A and B are shown apart, each in its own frame.
Chain A
Amino acid sequence: MRVKRKSLEEALAPISSGASVAIGGSLLRRQPNAAVRNLVARGVSDLTVLSWAATTAVDFLAAAGAIRRWEGIYVGLFNHGLAPNFRRGVEEGRIVAREFSETAWVARLRAAAQGVPFLPIRGLFGSDIAVRNPDQIRTVTCPFTGDLLQAVPPAATDFTLIHGYMGDEYGNIVWPVVRDTDDVDPVFAAAATRLIVTVERIVPHELVKAQPTLTYIPGQWVESVVEVPYGSHPAACDAFYDADEAHLEAFALACRSGDGAAEYLDRYVRHRDHASYLAAVGGIEALRAFDVAKG
């Protein structure tokens, strides 16, 4: 096994402007926010971003004007409403948005994971999602039955960013037994080309080896693993800590204007490293207030 543990800066260095990046996490859980803050601080832009139900990570990138095109199923702030910066970017014509249904998106991830040029679906006939996106959703005929189906292409990207629970230095990412029930990260991981995973905690390989069924992302697929405690803050990491609802509310309020978003970025996003961010939100001790019971 190869050691894949790196610093956040080393792990993310290969991502430069113009890249395509898939972002894991679902709603307010396991957003790779620390990784995204690094991209914004470095001025990485002109990105094509692919996501599932994205919240903070995609909206931080949108606030920085770093997204040229987005594809996925949802961008919002869950119980805090619309994603203010993504919304403004699309409304002003700066972000091209192409959405898919969940079933179509899973087919795209699986196509990437299998290395096939498309997979068929049958649920978007007549929808403007398909009618207005002939480049990515096309009618095909089943060679066996003659039925009409819709082909969707692989969700292939240059890089994939996932925030995981725990991992060893070889990049084997493990989940706790009690965890989120809406998991999409294993599917994103299987679809990834260059996979960078941040985790709450690096744990000894001996622990991973003892229970290999808990490894949901094998180190074989991982390029870099980085320990970033509270790496999903202000969103949650289920089984570790809850969302920081007050911070999210203040974020949503500040980002009602572009000026407010710029101030937020300066104060909370453009940090030279994760330690600097933790200091800006009151220090790691303050964040322990959001911890949830383990197990």
Chain B
Amino acid sequence: MAAFSMNELIVAYLAREIEDGDLCFVGVGTNGRAFTLAVGIPLAAVRLAQMRHAPGAAVYWGNLLEPDLSAFPERLNQDAFTRWPGAAAPTDTGIKCDMLSRGRFDVCFNSAAQIDRHGNMNITAIGDRDRPKVRLVGALAQPDHAAFVRRPYIVMDLDRRSFVERVDFVTSVGHLDGGTSREAAGLAPGGPHRVVTDLAVFDFTPETREMRLVSLHPGVALGDVTDRMGFRPAVPDSIAVTDPPRADDLDAIRLRIDPNNILLRE
């Protein structure tokens, strides 16, 4: 088996999850690891899916609808975004919001400073909102993604500080308090579909809507996962192993999708 990085494994996993015809939202991200998780891995995954089984899968990246993902520049400066080739750049970003609210998106990719047992996310503040320990950047469209997108994928590294029993501030409603509480609060059914981390993949139990282990990445033990979580997830009787990327996945990622190691830089 070819050696692979965890980023490559996650890309291959997410690519398999993307269906032909899916419209996937990807943000413009920030810096460092946050960029890799929020932008690099999702774009590489959609591109791999396009090259494999889902030629009709599309991306809305920033405010660019169906950008050409066949070549990435060596440097992602502002001007690279300005000149990115694509099918459409709607005249204002409100059009993207309309598309979200109307339910046109199938998939989105999100990460957060905190996520809890029920998939609620916090990117607002650590501590109390009015006198926080750390003020974060704010909501952007994340609440809209969690409210309106059919299959939100949360892509985050496992960490006790970010996987918490209850988020300090519910920026984006996942499955709220579990059960049918999300719908009772007034949102449409839905919420986070999978949580994809550097050690394992999770979903949410159908009844209680709490985070549940789906698969461990190759070589990872259950204890490795629970040691890095602030709550105990639901654990099924038998735990699968996440399929590793195939050799031709790795070739596609390394040679064609991200030859300059921009998207998946460690």
Residues of A within 8 A of B (CB): 26-29, 52-53, 72-76, 78-83, 86-87, 90-93, 96-97, 99-104, 106, 109-110, 121-129, 131-132, 139, 148, 150, 178-184, 186-187, 216, 236, 238-239, 242-243, 245, 292-293
Contact = CB atoms under 8 A, between A and B. Distances in A.
B159 to A, nearest CB: 18
B139 interface: yes
A102 B97 contact: yes
Interface of B: 28, 30-31, 35, 62-64, 77-79, 81-84, 86, 89, 91-94, 96-97, 100-101, 124-125, 129-144, 147-148, 169-173, 176, 181-182, 185-188
Given A128-B124, A182-B28, A106 B93 contact: yes
B186 A91 contact: no
7 contacts: A75-B138, A102-B100, A123-B143, A125-B186, A181-B82, A183-B91, A243-B78
A110 B94 contact: yes
Q: What are the 6 A-B residue pairs with the smallest beta carbon separation, nearest first?
A: A125-B186, A126-B185, A123-B147, A76-B137, A101-B143, A102-B141
B137 A127 contact: no
Contacts of B92: 183-184, 186-187
B187 A103 contact: no
Contacts of A150: 186
A238 B89 CA distance: 14
A26 B135 contact: no
Contacts of A187: 92-94
A182 B63 contact: yes
Contacts of B93: 26, 52, 102, 106, 182-184, 187
Contacts of B141: 73, 101-103
Contacts, number: 177
Contacts of A131: 170
Contact of A126 (B132, B148, B186): B186
Given A29-B78, A126-B176, A181-B81, A82 B136 contact: yes
A91 B144 contact: no
Contact of A128 (B89, B91, B136, B171): B171
A8 to B, nearest CB: 24
Contact of A101 (B77, B89, B135, B142): B142
B91 A126 contact: no
Contacts of B134: 82, 87, 91
Contact of A79 (B35, B131, B170, B173): B35
A182 B143 contact: no
A110 B187 CA distance: 23
A48 B78 CA distance: 29
Contacts of A106: 93-94, 97
Nearest to B94: A106
A93 B132 CA distance: 8
A82 B137 contact: yes
Nearest to B126: A91
Contacts of B137: 74-76, 82-83
B138 A125 contact: no
